[in-house]
Amino acid sequence: MNTHAHVAVASVNQTVGDWAGNRQRIIEVVRQAKARGVRLLLLPEMAISGYSLGDRLPREGTLTRSATSLQLIADAPELQAGIVACVGLPILHRGVIYNAVAVIANGRVQGLVAKENLATGDVEYEDRWFQPWPRGVVERWVTASGDEVPLGGLIFEAEGIGSFAFEVCEDAWKGLRPGSLYALAGADLVLNPSASWFTLGKQEKRRNLVLQNSREDHSVYLYASLLGCDNTRLVFDGSLLIACDGELLCEGDRFRFQDHVLSDAVIDLAQLRLSRREEGSWRRQIQLSSSLTTAVPTRVRIPGSFTSEASHEPRRPYWLPPEQRSFDQSLKWVEEVTSLSRPLEPRDAVHLELELALSLGLRDYTRKAHIKELALALSGGRDSAMVALIVHRMLRYAHPDVSSEELKAITARSLMTAYMATENSGESTRSAAEAVAQELGAVFYDMNIQDNLNAHLALIQETIGRPLSWSDPVDDIALQNVQARLRGGLIWFLANLRRALLLSTSNKSEAAVGYATMDGDTSGGLSLIADVPKSLVSLWLAWAQELHGYESLKQINGLQPTAELRPSEREQTDEGDLMPFEVLDQLIYGFAQLAQDPLELFISLWPTFKDRYSGDARAFGDHIHTFVRLFCFAQWKRERFAVSFRVSAFDLDPKGGGRYPVIQAPFTEELAELDQHIERLMAHTT
């Protein structure tokens, strides 16, 4: 008896509401899978409709078209014989919407399984629209063709494949997983269709999850997630994994600039079943499972044959995942499509992931919104340089076969930049901005806006009847902001003339504390690096200079970050205005992601930063005070920031993860507790 099964996982780059295009991409990947000899194919969660439907989901037309698309896929010649395809979609059942996966074989829908654990919290909002499916319940659902098919707690059986069941995305991350109960009920394979968006380091978590689940359940585990930018904030990296009993069989390429990616493997079910028979604890788990649920999964037989880290130790910065011993092979394809100064190494993974996620998000955002050109205020600083380089990287990945000179020509048609100098600007930043634009091939305008600024200042001074002074703290802020806002208006003017999308250059660190001028450096329709902390911006630029060979970055990386909004004799720097970015970024993580109060922040981070502050706990406490107050007061600014992409484990976007009150007391009592602790600590030290 042949116990080898040929299975595959596929990621597809879908667009919400593109029913015909989404169907075509699904059918095409089915065709390619069949050509490889695949007999069981798993596609992602909500692949038929696109995942991020939002309030478009409950519309009757959405649900009707979803069901119709499912039927049209089942009717396609590619699905008439020889393969079982599993694809996600929203369905309407008894007047309620469910997040489901349909099993298609022999030209018809064989049955559906609905998601039990809805993803809610953070950026997830599924219980706004979906109803969770009750475990063990099986009902009948009517397809668009009028067939009644089972819906609910199902195990499917097919000759040549074995028995398989599902847990949909979030289901896999819960303690009492559906997949475990199905495995204990006899399922050989557990399939997980997902819509898992990218954050730095998340792939390793997925990989560990898949390996652990397959090992614990003595099962084959198939994992397939979406690809591309499905809405305006999340980037899907197209994660594909197949594991068997704790062994990773294959891992698909991620961040591919393609409509779909397909990965397949041949599995040995005999070895899997032997592991279950040999292990006594497995048998006891089966007995225990009967006391946890009285529902025995319904089996659906598919006709035909388908054979074929310690407390108080220095903490690693949150934006860097644990060190990798070997390079992530799912990123190896990058060497084939671009020139690198050296072969990729494990240390490159985090920076390359960041580059690919932002590039893919930008490509899909502009492509699907029919945007042909981008505009950027190029200041000569690190943030705008990173944005410009990500545009260039995006164009390289989108045009892998063109020469460097041809890519420059494409960049000239795609990116317009401008440097807008005042008397506070330095020649070093102007030269750096021009060097970046020239190296990339971008259009570059060199503008001096001092006369325009003088006109603004003269009008205001005449209006208020007094001169403005840099020595007055109130005037100081206004005098800085007017420059940024003037630049914002002018770069928008240039962008409008070219029908270009203006890219904002604000980073995550600035967003956290409001170190940004509304309608100034925040101007733009897309904030490309809004979820990238300043510390990571600097690290990425140094890495890009070394790996990609951008010569212009030597100037950028050699400059001290500064807004250049005060006169040069005042020696303005970003860290001087705020605090060291390494400190700030760790405070952001502890406060926003770990929900640590000020005292907890101090206790957890003081061992890391004690030497930096030369043992002066009060100085560190002052920075915590500054951060907490600025963070609370800056929420109104974050409410107005442009659309951004999420690339880290948490974000500050009020429409996503950073849902803080606009009006709130700045943790006054908590800061008082911090002060008391520091005074006791300093007294004890003395």
User: Which one, of 486, 169, 539, lies nearest residue 355 by Cα?
Assistant: 539
Q: What is the pLDDT of residue 167?
A: 96
10 Å CB burial of residue 676 (0-12, 13-18, 19+) is exposed
Which helix (H) or strand (E) covers residue 386, if one does?
helix 382-398
Backbone conformation region of residue 99, classed left if phi is above 0, alpha if psi is from -120 to 50, else beta: beta
Query: Which distant-in-sequence residues (6+ apart) come within 8 Å of 544 by Cβ?
Result: 351, 355, 389, 550, 553
The distance from CA 328 to its chain's CA centroid, rounded to whole angstroms, is 17
Lowest mean pLDDT across 289-303, 389-403, 443-457: 289-303
Q: What is the residue-averaged pLDDT of the chain?
A: 91
CB count within 10 Å of CB 294 equals 7
The token pair that represents 594 in the structure block: 């770990």
Specify the pLDDT at position 322: 63
Which of 99-103, 345-349, 654-658: highest mean pLDDT? 99-103
At 145, phi and psi to the nearest 5? -90, 0
pLDDT of residue 324: 65
pLDDT at 81 over 90: yes
- Give the pLDDT confidence score for residue 310 in this predicted structure: 36
Number of H helices, E strands in the chain: 22, 25
Neighbours of 217 (CB within 10 A): 26
- Top mean-pLDDT range of 343-352, 402-411, 648-657: 402-411
Rg (CA), the chain: 28
Q: For 643-659, what is the mean pLDDT?
A: 85
Instruction: Report the distance separating Cα 122 and Cα 196, nearest Å.
Output: 13
Q: What's the rounded mean pLDDT across residues 66-73?
A: 97
Contact 104, 79 (CB under 8 A): yes
Three-state SS sequence of 490-555: HHHHHHHHCCCEEEECCCHHHHHHCCCCCCCCCCCCEECCCCCCHHHHHHHHHHHHHHHCCCCHHH
With a pLDDT cut of 90, the percent of the chain lying above it is 71
Residue 311: pLDDT over 60 = no
Q: Two tokens at 384?
A: 């705008």
Tens digit of pLDDT for each residue in 346-393?
A: 889 889 999 999 999 999 999 999 999 999 999 999 999 999 999 999
Where does 597-671 show beta strands of DSSP type E?
643-644
Sign of the Cα pseudo-torsion (534, 539, 542, 544, in order): negative
Query: Order of strands, edge to edge, in the sheet holding 154-159?
Result: 247-251, 240-244, 220-225, 189-194, 162-166, 154-159, 298-305
pLDDT tens, residue by residue, 161-200: 999 999 999 989 887 889 988 998 889 999 999 999 999 9
Q: Are 15 and 21 in contact (CB under 8 A)?
A: yes
**Domains of the chain, first to last:** 4-305 (3.60.110.10), 337-578 (3.40.50.620), 580-686 (no CATH)
Q: Which residues pair with 96 in a beta bridge?
A: 93
CA dihedral 200, 205, 206, 210 (to 10 degrees): 170
Alpha-carbon 316 to chain mean position:
21
- Name the residue type at position 423: E
pLDDT at 308 over 90: no
pLDDT tens by residue, 599-639: 989 998 999 899 999 999 999 999 999 999 999 999 999 99
Query: For residue 437, what are the contacts with CB-CB under 8 A and spacing of at least 6?
Result: 378, 388, 417, 443, 444
Q: Which helix (H) or strand (E) holds 163?
A: strand 162-166
